[in-house]
Chain A
Amino acid sequence: MGSALNIQISNRIRFSEYIRTVWRMRSLCWQLMMRGIQVRYKQKLIGIVWVVLEPIMTLLIFVVVFGILLGQADNTHGIPYPLFTFTALMAWQLFSTTISTVSSSILGNADLLTKLYFPRLILPMASSAASLVDFGIIFLLYILMALLYGLAPSWQMLFAIPLLLTSCGIGFGMGIIVASFNIRYRDFGHILPVILRLGIYATPIGWSTDIVPETVRKFTAINPITGLTEALRWSFFGTPFSTNALLLSIGVVLVVLPLGCWILISQEKNFADYI
């Protein structure tokens, strides 16, 4: 504010100007994030409980199905099975909540798109920020559980932060690609939950990659979250992980984040017309 605004209206996109506008309107991102968080806790007696309930239930299912029924509880390099699963689940949970909230963030605010201008990238940014706050609560729960199991803190655990951010970044990048295409063809919004439901079992969460035969292991490694779950376990427990799988995850985030932003920024001029 204060400085004279000079708005250019045309069919061309200027990326540098776009990024500057996003920065100038950062308070909108904050406001939208706050709205997302506030709404989640309105008219609910125990809002926080609902946030942690989903991962806890998922964890319980894993403990019962994989740990007890399928007997995976012993293939954990000696780590308590719930902790072993929860560690990997965090990477998956962050990825899947980010991709699903981000992918619906634009269509879900259709009323704003047709009435007002702001850089549309702010919408997925705000919704992923709101789900990061939820994740923070889940993370605290994890720390609590780790302490109860007597896990000693180490410097290696700090690697968890970039690993989790990578997981969030993959979800964000893929999410905005889905969100952009979903404006034109709503099919994309329907495919995503199916893929996520399959993905949670195709990712080494309740099981270790050691049980997978060498020939199949190449295929499990295609999943960009695989490398992150293993590396996350390494950072907490020092269990072995595949460098190639981790490099793949890093490669995916480096491709998918700029690609997603580019698709969204170059497509957003058409959003209001197609919605």
Chain B
Amino acid sequence: MSSRKIIRVNKISKRYLIPHHLNRADTLREAIMQAVTFKIRRSTMEIFWALRDVSFDVMRGDRVAIMGINGSGKSTLLKVLSRVTVPTLGTARIHGRVSTLLELGAGFHGDLTGRENIFLNATLLGAKRQEIKKNFDQIIEFSEVGHFIDLPIKRYSSGMRARLGFAIAFNIETEILIIDEVLAVGDFAFREKCIGRIRALCESGHTLLFVNHGNHLLKDLCNRGIVLDQGRAVMDGNIDEALEFYTSHFHYIPRNLWQGDMGNSFIRLNLLRLSQHHHTSPTKKSDSDHFRLNHPIFLTIEYELLQGAIDFTIGLELRNSSGIVSHTIYQGNLDHQGEPIVARGRHTIQVSLRILYPPNDEFTISPVISGSKDGAPLADAPMVLFSYKHDQHQPDYPKNVHTAIEWNWMNR
């Protein structure tokens, strides 16, 4: 019996139908006509394969990093394996108890106390009542929320909520841990504690499926890597090979230039470019991917507004190589006179960043767009990446010093 194979994924494909409202009904009459003749609607469905024939086996105790650029199917794969969604084709077998951390604190209710929420959340993660009782004190201790445990969760800071979520997920019995990028939240010390906990669980024989954008962390925790590209598994090997493959094949996309078309029904992003020169010709593919300290970095964002007069903000998120958001910068949609940019059409904005106290590290910058029209921010916004190397004569900054940056929107 192949009991060592804890997960067997056999030719899994997942299809999504994306409706395109090319002929959206503007009047009630049109809406009724479209409702009566289903054909019109169906013809505007785009078929999108988020996963295509993905097969792999996971041995008990494997720690698998799932890598891929945004939109490559990582999250869909984790969703299928945690049974949130079903595969269109193919099958998978899992021989063991799965704990999924696609989000922390699922089922938390603001009106209930931390203590009351522990039971429901742990039950949702598959824990039995006896087991929760047994590990209860351990969970409270791990969460570091102390006497706040008897306060309704709505009074918690987001950090406390996240800590409680982690504490529950890491202190219930499980065999397989599926972790999507949730580690990005929480403060540095607590995050280290969580990583330590994951490492301890792995050492005691747990199986791990892990998505994270921090290459160092993947190398540290995982022994195996699977690289996804456009829904297919293009690489499956040990972590060093997989990381090597991934960095050599995919970094060109999130390097310091991104061109494409991404967004929602009111804003489309077309270009992101990082440069240390104020003016670079758009055809020039890249500068060096190393940026010099104490010289400003310019980020250019080109976007198109599909509808005018929409209230929205462009922000930026700066992440270090461990995937932690070290800075969030808001309010970028103002022109040089400080008026909001609301006109339909193409716009370019530029921001200058001065990184003051960086460790030698890699950073990604991704735009965050939020607006009152469509509500939700773009989940899969493109990102650009750069490494920050100190000049030879610069002293080495202590490792845990937080990055400090200055920024200045230079809108035109």
Whether A associates with B in a native complex is yes
Interface stretch of the complex, out of A31-39, A59-67, A157-165, A225-233: A31-39
**In the complex, are the beta carbons of B98 and A9 less than 8 A apart?**
no
- Report A36-59 residues with CB < 8 Å from chain B CB: 38-39, 42-43
Q: How far is the CB of B31 from chain A (nearest CB, A)?
A: 12
**In the complex, are the beta carbons of B123 and A31 less than 8 A apart?**
yes
Indicate whether A112 sits within 8 Å of B124 (C-beta atoms), given known contacts A9-B93, A39-B109, A39-B112. yes
Residue of A nearest to B119 (CB): A31
Indicate whether A117 sits within 8 Å of B95 (C-beta atoms), given known contacts A28-B124, A39-B111, A42-B152. no
- Report B11-35 residues with CB < 8 Å from chain A CB: 12, 16
Mask of A1-18 contacts with B, CB within 8 angstroms, 1/0: 100111111110000000
B300 within 8 A of A: no
The CB with the most chain B CB atoms within 10 A, among A27, A28, A112, A115, is that of A115
Q: How far is the CB of A45 from chain B (nearest CB, A)?
A: 15
Residue of B nearest to A109 (CB): B107
**B88: which of A4, A11, A118 is its contact (CB, 8 Å)?**
A11
Q: Which residues of B contact A272 (CB under 8 A)?
A: 79, 84-85
B94 within 8 A of A: yes
**In the complex, are the beta carbons of A115 and B100 less than 8 A apart?**
yes
Residue of B nearest to A118 (CB): B124
Residue of A nearest to B91 (CB): A10
A273 within 8 A of B: yes
Q: Which residues of A contact B97 (CB under 8 A)?
A: 5
B89 within 8 A of A: yes
B82 within 8 A of A: yes
Residue of A nearest to B13 (CB): A11
What separation, in Å, do the CA atoms of A38 and B195 have in the docked complex?
Answer: 34
**B106: which of A6, A34, A115 is its contact (CB, 8 Å)?**
A115
What separation, in Å, do the CA atoms of A35 and B92 have in the docked complex?
Answer: 33
**In the complex, are the beta carbons of B96 and A117 less than 8 A apart?**
no
**In the complex, are the beta carbons of A27 and B87 less than 8 A apart?**
no
**In the complex, are the beta carbons of A113 and B80 less than 8 A apart?**
no
**In the complex, are the beta carbons of B106 and A112 less than 8 A apart?**
yes
**In the complex, are the beta carbons of A114 and B84 less than 8 A apart?**
yes
Indicate whether A27 sits within 8 Å of B93 (C-beta atoms), given known contacts A39-B112, A111-B106, A113-B84. no
Indicate whether A117 sits within 8 Å of B83 (C-beta atoms), given known contacts A8-B93, A10-B91, A273-B16. yes
B102 within 8 A of A: yes
Q: Which residues of A contact B107 (CB under 8 A)?
A: 32, 35, 109, 111-112, 116
Q: How far is the CB of A125 from chain B (nearest CB, A)?
A: 14
A residues near B (Cβ < 8 Å) are: 1, 4-11, 25, 27-28, 31-32, 34-35, 38-39, 42-43, 109, 111-118, 269-270, 272-273
Taking A9-B12, A28-B123, A272-B85 as known contacts, 17 extra A-B pairs with beta carbons closer than 8 A to each other, sorted by chain A number, are A1-B131, A4-B95, A7-B93, A7-B95, A7-B98, A8-B93, A9-B80, A9-B83, A32-B120, A34-B120, A35-B109, A111-B107, A112-B106, A116-B82, A116-B102, A117-B82, A273-B16
B residues near A (Cβ < 8 Å) are: 12, 16, 79-98, 100, 102-103, 106-107, 109, 111-112, 116, 119-120, 123-126, 128-129, 131, 152
Enumerate 9 A-B pairs (CB-CB under 8 Å) in ascending A order.
Answer: A9-B93, A28-B123, A32-B107, A34-B119, A35-B120, A39-B109, A117-B83, A117-B100, A272-B85
Which 8 A-B pairs give the minimum distances between C-beta atoms?
A: A117-B83, A9-B92, A269-B86, A10-B91, A7-B94, A42-B111, A115-B103, A31-B123
